[in-house]
Amino acid sequence: MPHDVELDQAWADRISPGRRGLLAGSGVAAGLMALGAGGPARAAPETSATASTVPRAETLAVITPAPASGQSPWGYETVGEPTPRPTSVRPGEQVLPDLPRPYTAIKSYHAHVYFDEDTYEKAALLRRWSAERFTVELGNWNLEPRGPHVTPSYYFGFLPEQLPVIVPWLQLNSLGLTILIHPNTDNPKADHLHYALWVNRAQPVNPYGMRTPVDADGHALIEQIFPNTTPSVRIEV
């Protein structure tokens, strides 16, 4: 079949402008007609033919939005602000310490169990199992973010002596839930951010607003736990 340049161009003009230059003169008309797509050619509008000859980059206008009324509360030099170095929240680590901290600085632990609308039944089962087997301080249900915890949760507190049993028990019986285990020292912020253990996976916590409570003399008060459960089931061994 003789090559029909005009017919090729007619078909090229019917598709996107970015491909017209590639298809024109390439013999596509013959292929389309073989597939039953042939038909009377219709000339493309003059504006489309013109657009195909203009580089794409030159057709993209830079749109600058009209300025809103008012002023930015942050000013207009924020891009030039220096990069600050946050103060360390780990006590005693502004410089390298001479000695390790004593492990006896930990007075108790918290285990925070996180859940949502899809996993609350698992959380309820784990809560019951824990109360049946351990002497702990069991908190109430937090159905909304509370304190540094950004999702629903509940917690139970326990003593350092119980750590070797409760941690492996939670590892094996977490039911796939995310659990934060942190110590209670004289720095609650560091307890949640840097001294924590996670079962399954970590998730965000926001303890930056936490402050260490102090007594009337300014001495740090470390959170104590007061067990409120009575075990009724022997732990499986």
Q: What is the pLDDT at residue 104?
A: 94
pLDDT for 32 equals: 47
Count of other CB atoms within 10 angstroms of residue 200: 14
Higher pLDDT, 223 or 90: 223
Q: What is the mean pLDDT of residues 173-196?
A: 95
State residue 53's pLDDT score: 62
- Rounded distance between C-alpha atoms, residue 194 and residue 190, angstroms: 5
In sequence order, the 6+-apart residues with CB closer than 8 A to the CB of 215 are 221
Distance in angstroms (rounded) separating the CA atoms of residues 23 and 20: 5
Q: Break the chain into its structural domains and give their ranges.
A: 5-59, 104-199
Give the lowest-confidence range in 10-14, 86-90, 120-124, 150-154.
Answer: 10-14
**pLDDT tens readout for residues 31-55:** 444 444 445 555 555 555 445 565 6
Query: What's the pTM?
Result: 0.65
* % helix, strand, coil for the chain, step of 5: 30, 15, 55
Q: Which two tokens stand for residue 105?
A: 């600085």
HSE at residue 2, side-chain half, CA atoms within 13 A, is 4
CATH number of 104-199: 3.30.70.1240
Nearest Cα neighbor of 111 from 152, 166, 172 is: 166
